[in-house]
Structure 1
Amino acid sequence: MSGNPGAAASRLERRVLYVAIVASFMVFLDGSVVNLALPAINRELGGGLVVQQWVVDAYLLTLGGLILVAGSLSDQFGRVRVLQWGLGGFTATSVLCGLAWSGESLILARGLQGVAGALLVPGSLALIVSVFKGAAQSLAIGRWSAWTSGAIVAAPLLGGLSVDLLTWRLIFFLNVVPAAAVWPFLRKLRELDLPHSPDSRIDVAGALLAVVGLGGPVYAFISRGSLGWGSPQVWLPLATGVLALTVFLVHEARTPAPMMPLRLFAVRNFAWGNIATTAIYGAVSLGFFVLGLFLQQVAGLGATAAGLAMLPSTLILLLLSSRIGALAGRFGPRWFMTGGPLLCAAGFLLLLGVDVPLDYPDMVLPGLLVFGLGLAITVAPLTAAILGAVAAEEAGIGSAINNAVARIAGLVAISFAGLITGSAVTTPGLHATVAVTAALLIVGALASAVGIRNGPRGEPDGAARGTAG
């Protein structure tokens, strides 16, 4: 460390922000990077829309189901240590995805990749909260939000380039590069880890109930299209999942070491922020999943062209998110979280004019520009409001819960894609999806307007104090 404390602190902050962004970017990128590769995967491995949905949802299922346990691991065993475990596992499972020889093997590898990804997200954001303070924290969260949320929108371009230039398998092999780049920095941050308690316990039962509770309904919704609601292969997993989720909530309320402390939902901004997250991230996942398939399978664009078509939203997000994060730190998140989703909804409603033959400048670009502006206004204030509502020592589990909510929302929304579009994506199916997406975004805006409160000087109500609402 330098003899200059200010320079040392600045260097530490830069390292933490770099590690947090790269680790989370990889996880969020792989949640949607396959979207524009799905047609190519289907051509090579077969399986139709059902396999396409599972290639996305197997990852989101294990990621969303286990990210809460990872938050507990992060707080108990050290955020940097758990990040190292996750980075090694994510690299190995990414290679396994790239070597998949069938639809089933790819789905299995994606599930394992989600397990490793769950270890990366909570600790990365918790590191930012523990190292950055005051206005610098809002700015850092804004930058983290811009890059990680941008991954969701930018991923199709990377997927498209991989498909058109070489092979869809490249999108998984490429994860080795950022993993190798961030590993040396992780080793230098081990000093930030506190010794873990030998009495700490992990909520294994809660994790198993969460995975079964999420997996059952998702399997039912995806299988319904080919089997029908009357099939035991549909209603039995659905009933099992609902029962498991019910038992999960009872278990979390009674166990002494819950992976999802329900008391956090007594904090107003935390509870309402997660309701808004459910609607907003479910909408974004559903909308871009179907739009990516439409641009290729109906409009006839190549994978790279389709990725470029969705790039404007990402550029706006990257340019504005950190600035919006700083503004939200001054004025509070409430109206940013209200106006942003409304703009996103307006952007998607503009896509109701999309038809074939496709006229991109008139039919698609205006909607994506409005959506990108809305998303930039939304993401950093949303993250800051939720993390600002919990005590600093619970930042890991607070981040884990919010990220789990976001991934689970995407998981469930995509599982409904077949119910909305039919067995194959069509122009009417896209229009129906656009309407549902806009409706979900409006719900997110209303939840923010009703539930989110600003504290003194614009801070989120209950920031770092955990006051109940």
Structure 2
Amino acid sequence: MTVGGNKLILALVLSILTYWLFAQSFLNIGPLVQQTYTTSDALLNIAVSLTSLFTGVFMVAAGGFADKFGRVKIMRIGLTLSIIGSILVIISDFTFLLLLGRAIQGFSAACLMPATISLINTYYHDKERHKALSMWSIGSYGGTGLSSVFAGLIATYIGWQWIFIASIIVTLIVLLMIKDVPEAKATQSHTSKFDFWGLVLFVISTLSINIVITQGGDIGWYNPTIIILVLVFVITLTLFYFYEKRKREPLIDFSLFSSRYFIGTVTSNFLLNTSIGALALYNIFTQQHFHLTGFVSGLITLPYMFGVLITIRIGERMMETHEAKKPMKLGSLIVTLGILLLSLSFLPTPIYIIGSLIGFLCFGMGLGFFATPGLNTAVVHTPKEKLGIASGIYKMVATIGAAFGITIFTTVYLVIDEHVSRTTGSFIAFLVCALFMFLSFISTRFIIPEAKEKELF
């Protein structure tokens, strides 16, 4: 394979689809999976959220592994784990294997995302890098937008297990495509011991806050378990910070956050990804209020995917002719507009549905404008030896942002629905989401420097 060619781009895009298109489709096939496993709603919900949980918890550590041991090696490990996880999910009706398979799929995604971004930044340069990052973003956002419709069609007309059979086939193809890709890893002037205790502290802190975010609404925000987990998070995060500051080769190099480019982009990315909660909120509201089926409400969200595909390459070209901040700011504002259109639930039903279609188109277009400039700004201002860890942090905050968004916006909706009305609940919840999107614009505008993008290596 020619390093830096289109074949490698295709392999990288297909590899991340194993998560965004295939593994994430589990969100839409819960009832069918439950028929196969005859398990409880609680266990099924755990199986649905387990992959995202493990992805968020281990992504930064996997990025560090990629820098230290090799990005191609970690990518191959991630692909192999994807195959193992898919096999475990479909091989039997034993619930333990379902949960184990979903956890392994999470490990797989944690390996693949920082490793593939690092490979793009290693083997592509200038405009070719921008193109490769755009293709990566199309795979990520496009896979997310397509997963609900894809999962519904496959599960309805063939069988839900074929989603993961297709994933295995795609993964095997990718392994063949990258067999000749040369290794790429950070250059180290000395041999260092792996930061095991740093990893332990980081996993405990991240796992505890992820459980609080994703399960707090079901367990109860004032439940002793949640309170203890919050304390565990604060204590272990504090210990982790001071422990890492003393390490010569830390798991996370906090000097990354001294860059306004990095911290501004990470903050904006976190806030913008809370918008995933708007997708969950819309499906809940329309199915409860208008009695739409999951398939129909999913079809209404399809313009989101088309919007992403339309504007990703435009955002890339704007970044090349202007500073990256311009498409990032524009993207945040367009997403804000899209969410405001989704909030107009008090309108007559036909008008609201039309407004929703336009809103989801704006939603996707805004993310498309932001995607490549945001990702490029995060990695291009990062030293080569820290690409994996920086990519892991960037994608981890996106995962946590999505979890925050789902929890916050649906909680606001449910509380106001219970005490006032359903339409008022949806209206206010979407307004809260729009506020987060505007804060993403503020973060981009005032934290990221105004100067033209300049590579540091």
Alignment TM-score > 0.5, same fold: yes
Partner-residue secondary structure (3-state), 2:74: helix
| Aligned mate of 1:306, from 285, 297, 319 | 297
Q: Residue 375 of structure 1 aligns with which residue?
A: 367
**Distance in 1 separating the partners of 2:307 and 2:213:** 34
**Structure 1 unaligned regions, length at least 5:** 2-7
Sort the Cα spacing of 1:101 and 1:437 in 2 relative to 1 into closer, same or farther, 3 A: farther
Q: Residue 94 of structure 1 aligns with which residue?
A: 86
**Distance in 2 separating the partners of 1:327 and 1:414:** 31
Q: Residue 264 of structure 1 aligns with which residue?
A: 256
Counterpart check, 1:320 vs 2:311: yes
Q: CA RMSD in A?
A: 3.0
Sort the Cα spacing of 1:282 and 1:249 in 2 relative to 1 into closer, same or farther, 3 A: farther
Q: Residue 443 of structure 1 aligns with which residue?
A: 439
**Distance in 2 separating the partners of 1:301 and 1:171:** 24
Is the contact between residue 85 and residue 100 of structure 2 (CA under 8 Å) also seen in structure 1?
no
Shift of residue 152 of structure 1?
A: 2.1
Q: Residue 330 of structure 1 aligns with which residue?
A: 321
Shift of residue 278 of structure 1?
A: 0.9
Sort the Cα spacing of 1:130 and 1:224 in 2 relative to 1 into closer, same or farther, 3 A: closer
Deviation digits for residues 369-397 of structure 1, max 9, x if unmatched? 11122111111111111111112332222
Is the contact between residue 205 and residue 236 of structure 2 (CA under 8 Å) also seen in structure 1?
yes
Is the contact between residue 85 and residue 103 of structure 2 (CA under 8 Å) also seen in structure 1?
no
Name the amino acid aligned to 1:321.
I
Shift of residue 231 of structure 1?
A: 3.0
Q: Residue 122 of structure 1 aligns with which residue?
A: 114
Q: Residue 332 of structure 2 aligns with which residue?
A: 341
Deviation digits for residues 293-337 of structure 1, max 9, x if unmatched? 444455443443333322212122123212321220231111211
**Distance in 2 separating the partners of 1:70 and 1:260:** 11
Shift of residue 197 of structure 1?
A: 8.4
| Runs ≥4 residues deviating over 6 A | 193-198
Is the contact between residue 62 and residue 114 of structure 1 (CA under 8 Å) also seen in structure 2?
yes
Is the contact between residue 36 and residue 306 of structure 1 (CA under 8 Å) also seen in structure 2?
no
Q: Percent same amino acid among aligned pairs? A: 22
Name the amino acid aligned to 2:243.
H
Is the contact between residue 86 and residue 120 of structure 1 (CA under 8 Å) also seen in structure 2?
yes
Within 5 Å, give how 1:228-307 maps onto structure 2. Answer: 228-283=220-275, 285-296=276-287, 298-307=289-298
Sort the Cα spacing of 1:317 and 1:205 in 2 relative to 1 into closer, same or farther, 3 A: same
Counterpart check, 1:452 vs 2:448: yes
Q: Residue 179 of structure 1 aligns with which residue?
A: 171
Shift of residue 444 of structure 1?
A: 0.8
Deviation digits for residues 250-271 of structure 1, max 9, x if unmatched? 2232222222210011011001
Q: Residue 354 of structure 1 aligns with which residue?
A: 345
Sort the Cα spacing of 1:224 and 1:75 in 2 relative to 1 into closer, same or farther, 3 A: closer
Shift of residue 241 of structure 1?
A: 2.2
**Structure 2 unaligned regions, length at least 5:** none
Deviation digits for residues 226-254 of structure 1, max 9, x if unmatched? 55344322222222222222222222322
**Distance in 2 separating the partners of 1:386 and 1:304:** 36
| Aligned mate of 1:392, from 374, 384, 389 | 384
Deviation digits for residues 162-219 of structure 1, max 9, x if unmatched? 3432444443333112202211111021355689889244333233323322332343
Partner-residue secondary structure (3-state), 2:273: helix
Is the contact between residue 318 and residue 326 of structure 2 (CA under 8 Å) also seen in structure 1?
no
Is the contact between residue 85 and residue 119 of structure 1 (CA under 8 Å) also seen in structure 2?
yes
